[in-house]
Structure 1
Amino acid sequence: TGVDIEKEARQLLPNDLRTDGFSNTAYNLGVDLKHVEAHAQLANLIVEKLDIQKLANRFSSNRKTNQRAIRPHLQSLGTWLLRGPLSGHEIDLYQGIVTSVGASGGDFDTAFAYVLRGMLQSPRFLYRIESEGSPDAYELASRLSYLVWGSPPDQELFNSAKNNLLHNRDQIRKQVTRMLKDPRAVKQSQTFISEWLNLDHLKNLQPNQREFPSWKPKLAEDMRNETLAFSKHLIWEEKRPLGDLLNARVTFLTPSLAKHYGLKPKAASFTKYDLSNTPRGGLLTQGSLLTMGGDEASMVTRGLFVLHDLLRGSVKDPPPGVDTTPVPSAPGLSQRKVAERRIRDQSCGACHAKFEPLAFGLEQYDGLARYTTHDHFKNELRQDGEILIPGAAAPVKYKTSRELMDLLAKSPRIHQNIIWKLAQFSLGRPIATTDRLHLDKLFEKVRGRQTYQNVLLHLATSPLITE
């Protein structure tokens, strides 16, 4: 429609809850009175901002409101706005709105505006409702559009659906290739990165000012922008394999964030930095992820992130009756020493040994992502360790954090998990047992060429989307 209400939508709509790592998980997207009221306000706002005559003329130049004239008009508008043809019953309902407006003396534009308000609050507009069984051509068009763009189909995709072309794999590839060249595809990839890495946690970052007196809230925004610019550069400008997100020796910083990281600031407000001669490189050495460990740079939080969100591992809840009281920690210990005490503890060790060592290589980054060789207790910090990839026969040792990043970047488990996360985000639901065979086949097809674009092309033609 050309109407931008993103700002108002963010203000009016309640925040969606994160479930299974994403906020678009369908089964958790409940609707309450606040949603209903917000949808009504946003529908009114859109209609107020629109040029009603111009939009109406897009579908028909006929401005009569009798049944014979208006029904084709309603079908055209509804097919576009509700992402598929209307049933006879639906047309009858919208015809009733037109009739009521006409009976009260309203003209065509007034009737069209009321119909538009109704469609904008229709469940078919607000939610992606599909029939049982395999998707029809219009449902498939929506699946493809939300996969690549996170938004409704454009006219070319609608035309392909209308002509029943989308059940042909070559036609799907043609459309997805075209769609990947659109700026909306870049925006959708940024949304995925933000959701997967939970970058919104940076909005609530409030470090202890006594321990971190130089902290400025603007740095949190800079950290978020660093990760988004870094991922955009690798995915779209260099089209590198997704595994390179873990060890690429480049990033994008403001002078303030560069100084915070201990790098020499450049004059530009936001620019590219070569990290070849620094300990940094990859997502896990960026502030957006390192800060999730809190002021203490918690090995627990960092290790669980690596296990759950990168390695697709899991840790069971403690059995009933097990004492979960934290292991007493002697003052003055480094975070690694504290973690090692937990791992040696009879009650905690079996589980903590699965994830805390995954963060050992990050110990030299403090709670705000600054690189340091000693903590505030003057303990010398280490960056060596060993990592056990879930499913591997034995752990692999590393001497530096850079070696750790390289191990992760080369790990097929990491590659597979990123694809799983992308599929989960695209489908809007957790990965089911029945999905795994399809994802395993997809992984084999893209092995050796795991770019974002290639993964989406194969995902679009997989049974996860087409069936």
Structure 2
Amino acid sequence: MPPESEQPLSEMTRTQLVASLKTYLKQSIESAENVPGTPIRRMNRFQYNNAVQDLFQLKVEVFSLPERMMREYDNYFQPQTGKMPQQVRVGSRPLGKSQLIEKRLGGVAAFPQDLRAENGFDNRADHLSLSPLLLESFLRLSRSIVFSTDFNSKTCGIWKEFFAPPAEGTAEETQAIVEARLRKFLTRAFRRPASDKLVERYTSYVISQIQQQKSFTESMQEAAAAVLASPQFFYLYDQPAEGATPNQTDIDDFSLASRLSFFLWGSIPDQPLLDLAAAGKLHEPDVLTEQVDRMLHDERLKRFCDSFPTQWLQLERIISSTPDRQRYPQFYFSKYRASMHMMLEPLLLFETLLIEDQSVLKLIDSDFSYRSDLLDAWYRNGTRGNPGSPVTVQFRRVPVKNRRQGGVITNAAVMTMTSNATRTQPITRGAWIAGVILNDPPKPPPADVPLLEDKPKSGEENLTLRERFAAHREHASCAGCHQRIDPLGFALENYDAAGLWRKTYPNGRMVDASGKLLSKHEFANIIEFKDALLTEKDRFTRAFAAHLLAFALGREMGTADSFALEKIVTETAAADYRFQSLIKQIVLSRPFSQGTVRQGNQAVSLNQQTHPENIP
């Protein structure tokens, strides 16, 4: 705005216009009756695994989780120290043997991996519905867990206090013990105090099992299985704060505890969170900030690092990347590809920035990275390096002196997964930057636009890729998107289909990586492109914050969230864009503490008859 054929607005006019529009938008949002909340949704597989582990204090995994990209060795992840080690030993779960050797419960029923929402995450409510078939599978799953031969006193940390039979006593004494154990267990499992009616229901069930000549332990296992199959356990839902009015949509402290724990730990709240919720103090900003700080320095933070960055960066795409073997023979390393090393580099960078509370702007351009021997050689000249173990590798923290390599954008994994076997895909790369870095994904292309062939047609052999794509830009329905995403993709054109640096195409033509970011920042190469992105640092921070908030809430961001995001960016900028400050601002934001959607005087986000608390 305005059209390219017209004179652009003056900076003063543009600033005044934007300010006026923001004022009108803010007034509209504040007066609206509909307030966005977090929809009710079930746990995904990753969350269910973690919740069961924490509930029973299991020393083994419940499922094999290929979505957990990185396998930790030697316990390098120590957030309480505030420092990442200089050298770490890690492996890849999808590409290595770690799934076969890690300890987990045997005989557990299948829980299919949840699909990730397009331009979103696998915890989105609109992708986590519960069909009758899936409900039945939860019943089978719960029993297979607690009756697994590996579920015993050696693997279950609460075995003695919950499953082990008490000393001989009267029926009344046994019932009192069962009731006490269940009250504590149900409160932890359902993330809020268990009502007397609920405790009585489960107690009666256990006593009936004992009266049918089942052992005390087996009867308690039956109750535990029923808990795991209850919607109150596997549904994530909110309750409004006491005394909430139609214009007040705050969730109660127990809902806030769950939201916080599933955001940062991917699991149920621990006892300190539940205690603060019971005392009605968790919603207090100072208390909430203290708890976020505690959670950021707990080893369970690894679950956040195992879940969010891989989905945000879409790193699962590297698993299926297969660069041409003849052109890139060095990519294939023994039985495993170089992609294993590539995908771990940005994950280690992410963990370091978070643990050490560094600036999130280093996701764009960092002065350090973690490299294996293979990866170090890859960036230097595309060789394999020294052959080593394909399943676990040593990554060393190294300075990045060449700015072509720092950050996540120019990481070899991103460059490879946004290419096909023989050539780069600038449009795919541009769409990746638009969606991941700027949180502004383009619409799908029209179905009638032909794909660019991998090999140049007759007469096109001497053209650059930019010139060959000209036909797409001329298509009327494509021009708008191409004007926006082409500069983003062609900025990366110096990186070939496997992330190796190049100056020329195979036909000898020079690579042209110049362009204009957001129609106002001209750049000639990738370094200037990074500088242009850093000039728009608040825009990137807002985009990154939107991804984090969407992940935390399990829903898409909407217009009503815009001013909360603006405040998050302002506060984060005042703290030098530090990662932990950004996390704290997200938790303190208005959307994070909102739950039900209200229309007029009615709360409509939860139907009372299908509410989990009304289901056993």
1:36-435 correspondence to structure 2 within 5 Å: 36=138, 37-45=140-148, 47-48=151-152, 49-50=155-156, 53-56=159-162, 66=172, 67-132=175-240, 134-216=250-332, 217-237=336-356, 239-262=357-380, 269-277=394-402, 279-295=404-420, 296-316=423-443, 323-326=448-451, 330=457, 331-332=460-461, 333-388=463-518, 394-411=519-536, 412-435=538-561
Cα offset, 1:117, TM superposition: 1.5
User: Is the 8 Å Cα contact of residues 123 and 554 (structure 2) preserved in structure 1?
Assistant: yes
1:252 match: secondary structure: strand
Structure-2 change in CA distance of 1:317 and 1:288 (3 Å): closer
Aligned to 1:26: 125
Cα-to-partner distance string for 1:385-405 (whole Å, 9 max, x where unaligned): 2212xxxxx421112211111
Task: Tell me the distance in 2 between the aligned counterparts of 1:62 and 1:376.
Answer: 83
Task: Tell me the distance in 1 between the aligned counterparts of 2:409 and 2:516.
Answer: 16
Task: Tell me the distance in 2 between the aligned counterparts of 1:226 and 1:146.
Answer: 25
Structure-2 change in CA distance of 1:396 and 1:353 (3 Å): same
User: Is the 8 Å Cα contact of residues 357 and 386 (structure 1) preserved in structure 2?
Assistant: yes
Cα offset, 1:158, TM superposition: 1.6
Structure-2 change in CA distance of 1:38 and 1:98 (3 Å): closer
Structure-2 change in CA distance of 1:395 and 1:58 (3 Å): farther
> What 5-or-longer segments of structure 2 have no aligned partner?
1-55, 67-109, 241-248, 595-616
User: Is the 8 Å Cα contact of residues 186 and 236 (structure 1) preserved in structure 2?
Assistant: no
Task: Tell me the distance in 2 between the aligned counterparts of 1:447 and 1:309.
Answer: 20
TM-score (normalised: structure 2): 0.69
2:563 match: secondary structure: helix
| Higher mean C-alpha deviation, range 323-332 or range 361-370 | 323-332
Task: Tell me the distance in 2 between the aligned counterparts of 1:316 and 1:3.
Answer: 44
Task: Tell me the distance in 2 between the aligned counterparts of 1:51 and 1:314.
Answer: 45
| Higher mean C-alpha deviation, range 215-224 or range 343-352 | 343-352
Structure-2 change in CA distance of 1:153 and 1:419 (3 Å): same
State the one-letter code of the partner of 1:409: L
Cα offset, 1:140, TM superposition: 1.5
Structure-2 change in CA distance of 1:181 and 1:439 (3 Å): same
1:10 match: secondary structure: coil
Structure-2 change in CA distance of 1:256 and 1:7 (3 Å): farther
Higher RCO (C-alpha 8 Å, min separation 6): 2
Cα offset, 1:69, TM superposition: 4.4
User: Is the 8 Å Cα contact of residues 47 and 117 (structure 1) preserved in structure 2?
Assistant: no
Task: Tell me the distance in 1 between the aligned counterparts of 2:252 and 2:143.
Answer: 30
Aligned to 2:111: 13
Q: Between the two proteins, what is the percent identity of the paired residues?
A: 24
1:285 match: secondary structure: coil
1:441 partnered with 2:567: yes
User: Is the 8 Å Cα contact of residues 299 and 339 (structure 1) preserved in structure 2?
Assistant: no
2:207 match: secondary structure: helix
Task: Tell me the distance in 2 between the aligned counterparts of 1:73 and 1:165.
Answer: 26
Cα offset, 1:261, TM superposition: 1.8
State the one-letter code of the partner of 2:239: S
Task: Tell me the distance in 2 between the aligned counterparts of 1:314 and 1:24.
Answer: 19
State the one-letter code of the partner of 1:25: R
Greater percentage in helix: 1
Cα offset, 1:418, TM superposition: 0.3
State the one-letter code of the partner of 2:113: N
Cα offset, 1:9, TM superposition: 4.7
Structure-2 change in CA distance of 1:314 and 1:113 (3 Å): closer
Structure-2 change in CA distance of 1:7 and 1:77 (3 Å): closer
Task: Tell me the distance in 2 between the aligned counterparts of 1:353 and 1:454.
Answer: 35
2:65 match: secondary structure: helix
Q: CA RMSD in A?
A: 2.9
> What 5-or-longer segments of structure 1 have no aligned partner?
389-393
Cα offset, 1:218, TM superposition: 3.0
Cα offset, 1:280, TM superposition: 1.7
Task: Tell me the distance in 2 between the aligned counterparts of 1:384 and 1:65.
Answer: 81
Cα offset, 1:248, TM superposition: 0.9
| Higher mean C-alpha deviation, range 305-314 or range 27-36 | 27-36
